[in-house]
Structure 1
Amino acid sequence: MIDRSEPKLISGNANVPLAKAIARRMSLHRGMSVSLVDARVERFNDGEVFVEVYENVRGEDMFIIQSTSKPANDHLMELLIIADALKRSSAARITAVIPYFGYARQDRRTKARTPISAKLVANMIAQAGIERILTLDLHAAQIQGFFDIPVDNLYAAPVFALDVKHHFRERLQDVTVVSPDVGGVARARELAKRIGCALAIVDKRREKPGEIAEMTVIGDVKGKSCIIVDDICDTAGTLCKAAEVLIEAGATEVHSYITHGVLSGPAVERITNSVMKSLVITDSIAPTEAVLAAPNIRIVPTAPMFAQGILNTWKGTSVSSLFDTETLIPIYEGLYTE
Structure 2
Amino acid sequence: MPTPTSEPKLIAGNANQPLAKAVSRRISMHRGQPINLLDARVERFNDGEIFVEVYENVRGEDMYIIQPTSNPANDNLMELLIIADALRRSSADRITAVIPYFGYARQDRRAKARTPISAKLVANMLVEAGVERILTLDLHATQIQGFFDIPVDNLYASPIYALDVQHHFKDQMEDIMVVSPDVGGVARARDLAQRIGAPLSIVDKRRGKPGEVAEMTVIGDVKDKVCLIIDDIVDTAGTLCKAAEVLMENGAKEVHSYITHGVLSGPAVERITNSVMKNLVITDTIEATEAVKAAPNIRIVQTAPMFAQAIINTWSGTSVSSLFDHQTLVPLYEGHYSLG
Matched ranges for 1:27-176 at <5 A:
27-176=28-177
Question: C-alpha deviations, 1:15-52, integer Å up to 9, x for none?
Answer: 00000000000011001111000000000010000000
Name the amino acid aligned to 2:115.
T
Q: Structure 2: where are the runs of 5+ without partners?
A: none
CA separation in 2, counterparts of 1:75 and 1:234? 18
How far did residue 117 of structure 1 move?
0.2
CA separation in 2, counterparts of 1:282 and 1:252? 25
- C-alpha contact 2:42 2:53 (8 A) present in aligned 1: yes
CA separation in 2, counterparts of 1:306 and 1:2? 19
Name the amino acid aligned to 2:3.
D
How far did residue 209 of structure 1 move?
0.6
Question: C-alpha deviations, 1:107-155, integer Å up to 9, x for none?
Answer: 0000000000000000000000000000000000000000111000000
CA separation in 1, counterparts of 2:210 and 2:179? 22
Under a length normalisation based on structure 2, what TM-score does the superposition of the two structures give?
Answer: 0.99
Name the amino acid aligned to 2:70.
S
Find out whether 1:264 has 2:265 as its counterpart.
Answer: yes
Secondary structure class of the residue paired with 2:140: coil
Partner in structure 2 of residue 3 of structure 1: 3
CA separation in 2, counterparts of 1:169 and 1:325? 16
Find out whether 1:208 has 2:209 as its counterpart.
Answer: yes
Q: Structure 1: where are the runs of 5+ without partners?
A: none
How far did residue 2 of structure 1 move?
3.8
Secondary structure class of the residue paired with 2:208: strand
- Aligned length, in residue pairs: 338
How far did residue 63 of structure 1 move?
0.2
Secondary structure class of the residue paired with 1:202: strand
CA separation in 1, counterparts of 2:15 and 2:223? 42
Q: Kindly report the root-mean-square deviation, in angstroms, between the aligned alpha carbons of the 2 structures.
A: 0.6
Name the amino acid aligned to 2:44.
R
Identity %, equivalent residues: 80
How far did residue 188 of structure 1 move?
0.4
CA separation in 2, counterparts of 1:316 and 1:290? 40
Find out whether 1:224 has 2:225 as its counterpart.
Answer: yes
How far did residue 207 of structure 1 move?
1.1
CA separation in 1, counterparts of 2:272 and 2:17? 26
Matched ranges for 1:267-278 at <5 A:
267-278=268-279
Secondary structure class of the residue paired with 1:33: coil
CA separation in 1, counterparts of 2:19 and 2:2? 28
How far did residue 3 of structure 1 move?
1.1
Partner in structure 2 of residue 311 of structure 1: 312
CA separation in 2, counterparts of 1:281 and 1:237? 16
CA separation in 1, counterparts of 2:166 and 2:88? 44
Partner in structure 1 of residue 182 of structure 2: 181
Under a length normalisation based on structure 1, what TM-score does the superposition of the two structures give?
Answer: 0.99
CA separation in 1, counterparts of 2:319 and 2:153? 10
Secondary structure class of the residue paired with 1:304: helix
How far did residue 229 of structure 1 move?
0.2
